[in-house]
């Protein structure tokens, strides 16, 4: 291959390292105003009165709006642009202003008088589920998030437990976690003075989703709203609802004032109003025979959705599919559902439930192994999915490679797992306060959206007369490198140098809605659309080239900008010449490739069906040193192997793995949004700790390739798998080192030392 | 955002005059790594400030020197400068260690010892060390100069004896006697950009036959005001240093912490952790090997 499978530099590297890339906050327009939002100090309160009259008099203020002034208070989902009479969490906004400079906007916010009547709230999963609990949303009886319940019923768990020799029951917990992208949310909404439409530039992960919010806020047609994505400083699933709300508000103020309106969140504002990783309460019962064959698996997985939620409905489906891990288990009963509380809302975050679910389920596997007196790897070997296995959702894996064991064995070997395990066990027995441990976790993950929603998307390839090629996708480059991988796929297919391909950022008015850039589908699904479009274009160009070379199109091949006859490479024409020939004849070399989603039947009451067309497999081994006198955990080494199908760009793929390891490490050891009665106590990075460069372990990424039948050039998903089993592996390593298990994340100083949570009150 | 007047002082004289005019409503700006963060957060402790006197350009206040056995640090000396100073590394190595662990390179390049002291956070990294060194603060105002021990200058969390119109110009301490050994250990939630959960500063000198002649133990982020814990020191003074005695002293120090601060949410964690850190720091300073200083590998 010429371009694919090579670690070519990112197409956006130069603009980024030279500081020329424009993030949304870098944009300035003549006459631009600055918008700010007033948020509730209470997690739950009735708004008795809002008086904005003094704020309107602050010099430089152009508009001060409350819910009463809006075309629509509610977004296309239930989130509020501005709350009308009740606030349900501390991120709810009650008023907004636009002024000539940020200081005037600030001052105006301070001049707004709001009288609240504080109300009691529900702040934990337990409180939400208590009979007679306060109802956070009228439309969610029992505080169960609408449509969030996803069951799996397979075999008969009662019988399975009856045939088990060892049964254990466990509960695990994970907290709210912040995405911690380096760029806080920003947007500029620019009104069109003529036709009443708006163009919104923003740090958006999902432009089409944002467009729904903006159109709803303005009460206008989708076609009158144009969203242009700016260079994004990370998102990880975070810049979804919060960007919809921010862009909607900015657009309303822009239309109202007739001026461009810019909004940029401070880090604290970002913490308060942006989605978080859903906390989970993971309860399990698992039974196995003495020999280690798992007979039954029962789980109740409850996640905290917060005050609003537009994700648990989808995310919990993924959670139910992957709930039992990459194992073949005959009897399964799983229930996943989410609850509302008066805390910040849960949203999408890298892994979309898997990191939490795998933490619970892979901890459980280690605990089961211990109860069986069996090596944890042995237990996994006995139960791992194999070619021809049937998953817990009843999908028979006989049309694709099934690489759990291949990946696991390779990673264990590369990590020198068995020697180290033995050595550390021996040393632990000798005592001493600093102890080393090694632990592992394996996982599998359905590629793309699967049966969650239609995994359709488009790619546009447009060849210009000079042979340069514009590519457009409906999916976004969020910093993960999609622009580079798409450009590589197109360059490879057309046989041209990568430098000829020009990636253009998403603009909702120039590409059809291709769904969201989520579910690690950017390359897997988006890349396929690009490949389809490139193939269509190539077919036309080859027809033209065949005419010029007097041969048949099937005889042609192309590489490095030349189209030649395979049997006689001296018969050749340049790509540009062939292109000009086609254009001169009046052909169009602009083609849309569209991925049509496969049919994936799903029976909701039983959770049986074909969840995903294909799966990818991962194994992570972590080594730690625990200071048992202070609870400090140092992660020494992480070996992470992933069945990536094919790495379109091995350097970027390794980058995903490095980033995933560090993010997983934060989840394992230190990250937690601390809340007290719905108020976030650590809304900035002085108190919300994420790993620094000094905390990073030695990392060994392994890109294990296989023949995926679906993805472009056999590529599978990687972005989310790269982080999803890291926390589980680290916590298993800590348990190995100390002989004591932390069942509630993060495994911070206090929990590792004392075995329990200490919370500031 | 808080609004205030701003003066950039071109000389010490000018700074003192401005501070004197501003009185209670004025404060100095050194590196700004605490002050500007506080303004942005609309910290209630800064609400009354109307004048900020920037002393950042007074390079005459950035020095490290030794005169007649006394080590003097200009108030504007940065953490980076202290961490790299060969004088400090020899005369008081634990001060260099403490400064080398402050925040990040950016913070160490801007943050000053004077600022660390005047901000008086219970978790400030130089404070336990300065108290262990029995350092003195030199304060200047238009009215003249006065000197106060660091242990008295800091009066409580974020409270000092700095008077209106005054500037800290220097921190000074007698060079520890030959044979003194020191150790500073900081415990945080991560390896950089980390506020101390706990820290401990130890200065120890043994005489003939390994008898402890001098011992100073000052925990950080443990007490409202950094102070020597004499009850723990007494366990060691006059004794030959052993692992057992170091352990006892650590436990005593932890008990004293609870006696002074009472039970807090974090006490169940801090008690065993500070005891262990103290033991380790004593043994490290004393050149004795502790089980915990070795890792398994
Ligand atoms: C990201 C980050 C990480 C940090 N990490 C650490 C850490 O690990 N350990 C630690 O101890 N601290 C840490 N800090 C806090 C801070 O950097 C230190 O306290 C630093 O020493 C403050 O010095 P400064 O010169 O910046 O003080 P400034 O912010 O300029 O001043 C602080 C206070 O002291 C007063 N002041 C300053 N100089 C004088 C003077 N000469 N006379 C009278 N008053 C004066 C000011 O009026 C103000 O009230 C961190 C801060 C940040 C932002």
Per-residue confidence band for A760, with pLDDT thresholds at 50, 70 and 90: confident
B152 and B195 housed in the same domain: no
Using CB atoms, pick whichever of B191, B277, B296 lies closest to residue A436.
B296
* Domain boundaries defined on chain A: 24-119+180-273, 124-175+278-387, 399-447+614-761, 452-595
Q: Identify whether the C-beta of residue B5 lies closer than 8 Å to the C-beta of residue B51.
A: yes
Per-residue confidence band for A473, with pLDDT thresholds at 50, 70 and 90: very high
Q: Identify whether the C-beta of residue A89 lies closer than 8 Å to the C-beta of residue A678.
A: yes
Angstroms from A675 CA to nearest CA on chain B: 15
Give pLDDT, residue B292: 59
Using an 8 Å CB-CB cutoff, list chain A residues near B276. 433, 629-630
Same fold: A24-119+180-273 with A124-175+278-387: no
- Exposure string of B127-141, with b = 16+ CB inside 10 Å and e = fewer, is bbbbbbbebbbbbbb
Q: In what order do the strands lie in the sheet with A61-66?
A: A61-66, A93-99, A33-39, A261-264, A186-191, A198-202, A225-229
Using CB atoms, pick whichever of B191, B193, B269 lies closest to residue A754.
B269
Give pLDDT, residue A372: 98
Other Cβ atoms within 10 Å of A195 Cβ, number: 8
| Sign (positive or negative) of CA dihedral A416, A418, A419, A423 | positive
DSSP state of A309: -
Mean pLDDT over residues A2-23, rounded? Answer: 95
Mean pLDDT over residues A584-589, rounded? Answer: 97
Which one of B34, B108, B190, B275 makes the best mutation probe of the A interface by having the most chain A beta carbons within 10 Å? B190
Q: Which CATH architecture has domain A452-595?
A: 2-Layer Sandwich (3.30)
Structural domain ending residue among the three candidates B17, B38, B54: B54
Better pLDDT: B222 or A74: B222
Helix (H, G, I), strand (E, B) or coil at A556: strand
- For the cut 90, the answer to whether the pLDDT of residue A708 exceeds it is no
Give pLDDT, residue B208: 83
Helix (H, G, I), strand (E, B) or coil at A576: helix
Residue identifier of the C-alpha nearest atom 27 of ligand 1: B115
As a whole-number percent, the residues of chain A with pLDDT over 90 amount to: 95
Taking the C-alpha atoms of residue A546 and residue A556, their distance in angstroms, rounded to an integer, is 7
Per-residue confidence band for A759, with pLDDT thresholds at 50, 70 and 90: confident
Give pLDDT, residue B297: 42
Find the angle CA(A357)-CA(A361)-CA(A367) to the nearest 5 degrees: 150
Give pLDDT, residue B71: 98
Domain A24-119+180-273 sits in CATH 3.90.1170.50: yes
Give pLDDT, residue B291: 63
DSSP state of A390: B
Q: In what order do the strands lie in the sheet with A698-705?
A: A434-446, A615-627, A632-645, A698-705
Other Cβ atoms within 10 Å of A137 Cβ, number: 16
The DSSP element (H or E) to which A273 belongs, if any, is helix A267-273
| Sign (positive or negative) of CA dihedral A595, A601, A605, A607 | negative
The DSSP element (H or E) to which B88 belongs, if any, is helix B86-91
Residue B206, domain extent: 181-296
Q: In what order do the strands lie in the sheet with B136-141?
A: B64-67, B70-74, B167-174, B136-141, B144-149
Per-residue confidence band for A757, with pLDDT thresholds at 50, 70 and 90: confident
Structural domain ending residue among the three candidates B149, B174, B199: B174
Q: What ligand 1 atom has the least distance to the C-alpha of B102?
A: 8
- B14: CATH: 3.30.43.10
B124 and B228 housed in the same domain: no
Condensed to tens digits (0 to 9), the pLDDT of residues A82-120 reads 999 999 999 999 999 999 999 999 999 999 999 999 999
Tokens at A735, concatenated:
């348990």
Using CB atoms, pick whichever of B266, B277, B297 lies closest to residue A436.
B297
Number of structural domains found in chain B: 3
Give pLDDT, residue B1: 73
Taking the C-alpha atoms of residue A183 and residue A229, their distance in angstroms, rounded to an integer, is 14
Condensed to tens digits (0 to 9), the pLDDT of residues A265-319 reads 999 999 999 999 999 999 999 999 999 999 999 999 999 999 999 999 999 999 9
Other Cβ atoms within 10 Å of A127 Cβ, number: 16
B152 and B231 housed in the same domain: no
B285 phi, psi to nearest 5 deg: -60, -40
Taking the C-alpha atoms of residue A683 and residue A678, their distance in angstroms, rounded to an integer, is 12
Find the angle CA(A369)-CA(A370)-CA(A371) to the nearest 5 degrees: 90
- Is A677 near chain B, with CB under 8 Å? no
- B246: CATH: 3.30.390.50
Chain-chain contact of A758 with B266 (C-beta, under 8 angstroms) = yes
- For the cut 50, the answer to whether the pLDDT of residue A403 exceeds it is yes
Chain-chain contact of B273 with A631 (C-beta, under 8 angstroms) = yes
Report ipTM for this prediction. Answer: 0.95
> A746 preceded by cis ω (within 30°)?
yes
Q: What ligand 1 atom has the least distance to the C-alpha of B38?
A: 29
Helix (H, G, I), strand (E, B) or coil at A502: strand
User: What does the pLDDT profile of chain B (297 residues) look like in tens digits?
Assistant: 789 999 999 999 999 999 999 999 999 999 999 999 999 999 999 999 999 999 999 999 999 999 999 999 999 999 999 999 999 999 999 999 999 999 999 999 999 999 999 999 999 999 999 999 999 999 999 999 999 999 999 999 999 999 999 999 999 999 999 999 999 999 999 999 999 999 999 999 998 888 999 999 999 999 999 999 999 999 999 999 999 999 999 999 999 999 999 999 999 999 999 999 999 999 999 999 776 555 444
Q: Identify whether the C-beta of residue A297 lies closer than 8 Å to the C-beta of residue A320.
A: no
Using CB atoms, pick whichever of B1, B193, B273 lies closest to residue A630.
B273
- List A262's β-bridge partners, or say none: A34, A188
B63 and B170 housed in the same domain: yes
Taking the C-alpha atoms of residue A352 and residue B162, their distance in angstroms, rounded to an integer, is 53
Cα of A310 vs its chain's centroid, Å: 14
Q: Is A206 exposed, middle or buried, given 0-12, 13-18 or 19+ CB atoms closer than 10 A?
A: buried
Q: In the structure, which protein residues have their CB atom closer than 6 angstroms to any atom of ligand 1?
A: B 27-35, 37, 75, 102-103, 107, 110-112, 114-116, 118-119, 124-125, 162, 167-168, 193
- For the cut 90, the answer to whether the pLDDT of residue A428 exceeds it is no
Give pLDDT, residue A84: 93
Q: Identify whether the C-beta of residue A301 lies closer than 8 Å to the C-beta of residue A335.
A: yes
Q: What ligand 1 atom has the least distance to the C-alpha of B34?
A: 29
Interstrand relation of A186-191 and A261-264 (parallel, antiparallel or unpaired): antiparallel
Mean pLDDT over residues A428-457, rounded? Answer: 93
Give pLDDT, residue A258: 97
- How many residues belong to chain B? 297
A550 phi, psi to nearest 5 deg: 50, 55
B152 and B46 housed in the same domain: no
Structural domain ending residue among the three candidates B145, B174, B203: B174
Q: Is A102 exposed, middle or buried, given 0-12, 13-18 or 19+ CB atoms closer than 10 A?
A: middle
Q: Identify whether the C-beta of residue A150 lies closer than 8 Å to the C-beta of residue A336.
A: yes
Condensed to tens digits (0 to 9), the pLDDT of residues B155-164 reads 999 999 999 9
Q: Which CATH architecture has domain A399-447+614-761?
A: 2-Layer Sandwich (3.30)
Interstrand relation of A186-191 and A434-446 (parallel, antiparallel or unpaired): unpaired
Among chain A residues, the shortest Cα distance to B194 is held by A686
Average pLDDT, chain A: 96
The candidate with the shortest Cα–Cα distance to A206, out of A474, A21, A580, A436, is A474
Fold (topology level) of A124-175+278-387 = Aldehyde Oxidoreductase; domain 4 (3.30.365)
Taking the C-alpha atoms of residue A376 and residue A368, their distance in angstroms, rounded to an integer, is 8
Condensed to tens digits (0 to 9), the pLDDT of residues A313-352 reads 999 999 999 999 999 999 999 999 999 999 999 999 999 9
Residue given tokens 């029962």 in the structure block = A298
B170 and B276 housed in the same domain: no
Give pLDDT, residue A761: 61
Interstrand relation of A331-340 and A33-39 (parallel, antiparallel or unpaired): unpaired
Q: What is the pTM of this model?
A: 0.97
- B87: CATH: 3.30.465.10
- Is A391 near chain B, with CB under 8 Å? no
B37 phi, psi to nearest 5 deg: -65, -40
Q: Identify whether the C-beta of residue B150 lies closer than 8 Å to the C-beta of residue B135.
A: yes
Taking the C-alpha atoms of residue B277 and residue B262, their distance in angstroms, rounded to an integer, is 20
Mean pLDDT over residues A184-198, rounded? Answer: 95
Mean pLDDT over residues A489-512, rounded? Answer: 96
Mean pLDDT over residues A394-415, rounded? Answer: 97
Give pLDDT, residue A341: 98
Taking the C-alpha atoms of residue B161 and residue B181, their distance in angstroms, rounded to an integer, is 30
DSSP calls for A600-649: --EETTTTEE---S-EEEEEEEEEEEEETTTTEEEEEEEEEEEEEES-SS
Find the angle CA(B16)-CA(B17)-CA(B23) to the nearest 5 degrees: 85
A80 phi, psi to nearest 5 deg: -100, 130
A621 phi, psi to nearest 5 deg: -115, 130
End-to-end CA gap in chain A: 59
Other Cβ atoms within 10 Å of A311 Cβ, number: 27
Give pLDDT, residue B210: 85
Residue given tokens 């380790």 in the structure block = B280
């Amino acid at each position: 291959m010429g371009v694919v499978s090579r670690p070519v530099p990112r197409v956006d590297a130069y603009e980024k390292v030279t500081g020329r890339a424009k993030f949304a906050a870098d944009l300035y327009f003549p006459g631009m105003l600055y918008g700010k939002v007033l948020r509730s100090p209470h997690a739950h309160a009735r708004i008795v009165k809002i008086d904005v009259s003094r704020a309107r008099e602050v010099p430089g203020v152009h508009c001060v709006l409350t819910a009463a002034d809006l075309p629509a208070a509610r977004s296309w989902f239930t989130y509020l642009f501005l709350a009308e009479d009740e606030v349900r969490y501390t991120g709810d906004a009650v008023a907004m202003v636009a002024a000539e400079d940020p200081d005037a906007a600030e001052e105006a916010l301070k001049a707004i008088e709001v009288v609240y009547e504080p109300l009691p709230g529900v702040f934990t999963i337990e409180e939400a589920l208590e009979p007679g609990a306060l109802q956070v949303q009228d439309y969610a009886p029992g505080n169960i998030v609408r449509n969030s319940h996803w069951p799996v019923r397979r075999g008969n768990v009662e019988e399975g437990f009856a045939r088990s020799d060892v049964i254990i029951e466990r509960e695990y917990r994970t907290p709210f976690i912040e995405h911690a992208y380096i760029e806080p949310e920003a947007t500029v909404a620019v009104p069109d003075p003529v036709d009443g439409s708006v163009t919104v530039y923003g740090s958006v992960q999902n432009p089409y989703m944002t467009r729904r919010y903006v159109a709803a806020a303005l009460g206008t047609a989708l076609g009158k709203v144009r969203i242009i994505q700016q260079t994004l400083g990370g998102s990880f699933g975070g810049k979804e609802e919060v960007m919809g709300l921010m862009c909607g508000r900015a657009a309303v103020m822009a239309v109202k004032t007739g001026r461009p309106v810019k909004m940029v969140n401070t880090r604290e504002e970002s913490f308060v109003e942006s989605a978080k990783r859903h906390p989970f309460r993971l309860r399990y019962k698992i039974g196995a025979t003495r020999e280690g064959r798992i007979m039954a698996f029962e789980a109740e997985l409850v996640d905290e959705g917060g005050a609003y939620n537009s994700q648990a409905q989808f995310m919990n489906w993924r959670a139910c599919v992957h709930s039992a891990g990459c194992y073949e288990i005959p009897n399964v009963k799983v229930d996943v559902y989410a609850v509302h509380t008066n805390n910040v809302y849960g949203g999408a975050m890298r892994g979309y439930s898997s990191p939490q679910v795998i933490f619970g389920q892979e901890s459980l596997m280690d605990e089961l192994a211990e109860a069986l007196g069996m090596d944890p790897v042995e237990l996994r070997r006995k139960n791992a999915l194999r070619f021809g296995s049937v998953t817990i959702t009843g999908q028979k894996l006989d049309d694709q490679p099934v690489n759990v064991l291949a990946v696991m064995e390779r990673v264990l070997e590369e990590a020198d797992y068995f020697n180290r395990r033995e050595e550390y066990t021996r040393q632990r027995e000798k005592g001493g306060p600093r102890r080393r441990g090694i632990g592992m976790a394996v996982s599998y993950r359905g590629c793309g959206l699967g049966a969650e929603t239609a995994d359709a998307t488009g790619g546009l390839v447009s060849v210009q007369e000079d042979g340069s090629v514009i590519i457009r996708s409906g999916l976004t480059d969020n910093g993960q490198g999609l622009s580079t991988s798409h450009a590589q796929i197109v360059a490879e297919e057309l046989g041209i140098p990568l430098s000829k391909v020009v990636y253009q950022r998403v603009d909702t008015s120039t590409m059809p809605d291709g769904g969201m850039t989520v579910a690690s589908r950017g390359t897997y699904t988006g890349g396929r659309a690009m490949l389809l479009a490139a193939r269509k274009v190539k077919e036309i160009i080859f027809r033209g080239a065949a005419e010029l070379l007097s041969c048949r199109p099937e005889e042609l091949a192309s590489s490095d900008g030349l189209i030649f006859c395979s049997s006689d490479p001296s018969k050749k024409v340049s790509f540009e010449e062939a292109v000009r020939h086609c254009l001169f004849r009046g052909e169009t070399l602009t083609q849309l490739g569209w991925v049509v989603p496969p049919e994936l039947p799903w029976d909701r009451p039983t959770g049986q069906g074909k969840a995903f067309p294909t799966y990818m497999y991962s194994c992570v081994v972590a080594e730690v040193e625990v200071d048992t006198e202070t609870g400090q955990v140092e992660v020494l080494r992480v070996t992470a192997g992933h069945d990536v199908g094919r790495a379109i760009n091995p350097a970027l793929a390794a980058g995903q793995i490095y980033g995933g390891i560090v993010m997983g490490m934060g989840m394992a050891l230190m990250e937690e949004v601390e809340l007290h009665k719905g108020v976030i106590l650590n809304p900035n990075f002085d108190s919300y700790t994420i790993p620094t460069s000094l905390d990073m372990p030695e990392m060994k990424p392994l890109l294990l390739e296989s023949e995926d039948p679906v993805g472009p050039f056999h590529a599978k998903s990687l972005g989310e798998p790269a982080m999803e089993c890291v926390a589980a592996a680290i916590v298993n390593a800590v348990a190995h080192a100390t002989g004591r298990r932390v069942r509630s994340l993060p495994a911070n100083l206090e929990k590792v030392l004392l075995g329990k949570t200490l919370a500031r009150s | 955002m808080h609004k205030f007047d701003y003066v950039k002082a071109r000389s010490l004289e000018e700074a003192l005059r401005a501070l004197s005019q501003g009185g209670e409503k004025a404060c100095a700006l050194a590196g700004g790594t605490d002050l500007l963060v506080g303004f942005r957060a609309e910290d209630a402790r800064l609400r009354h400030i109307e004048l900020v006197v920037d002393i950042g350009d007074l390079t005459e206040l950035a020095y490290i020197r030794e005169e007649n056995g006394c080590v003097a640090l200009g108030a504007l000396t940065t953490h980076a400068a202290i961490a790299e100073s060969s004088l400090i590394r020899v005369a008081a190595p634990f001060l260099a260690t403490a400064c080398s662990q402050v925040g990040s390179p950016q913070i160490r390049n801007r943050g000053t010892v004077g600022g660390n002291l005047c901000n008086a956070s219970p978790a400030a990294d130089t404070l336990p060390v300065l108290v262990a060194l029995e350092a003195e603060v030199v304060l200047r105002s238009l009215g003249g100069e006065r000197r106060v021990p660091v242990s008295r200058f800091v009066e409580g969390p974020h409270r000092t004896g700095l008077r209106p119109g005054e500037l800290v110009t220097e921190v000074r301490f007698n060079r520890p006697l030959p044979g003194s050994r020191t150790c500073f250990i900081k415990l945080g939630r991560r390896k950089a950009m980390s506020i101390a959960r706990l820290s401990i500063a130890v200065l120890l000198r043994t005489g003939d036959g390994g008898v402890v002649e001098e011992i100073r133990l000052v925990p950080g982020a443990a007490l409202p005001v950094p102070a020597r814990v004499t009850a723990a020191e007494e366990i060691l003074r006059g004794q030959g240093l052993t692992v057992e005695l170091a352990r006892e002293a650590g436990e005593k120090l932890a008990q004293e912490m609870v006696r002074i601060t009472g039970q807090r949410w974090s006490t169940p964690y801090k008690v065993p952790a500070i005891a262990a850190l103290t033991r380790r720091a004593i043994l490290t300073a004393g050149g004795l090997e502790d089980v915990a200083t070795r890792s398994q590998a």
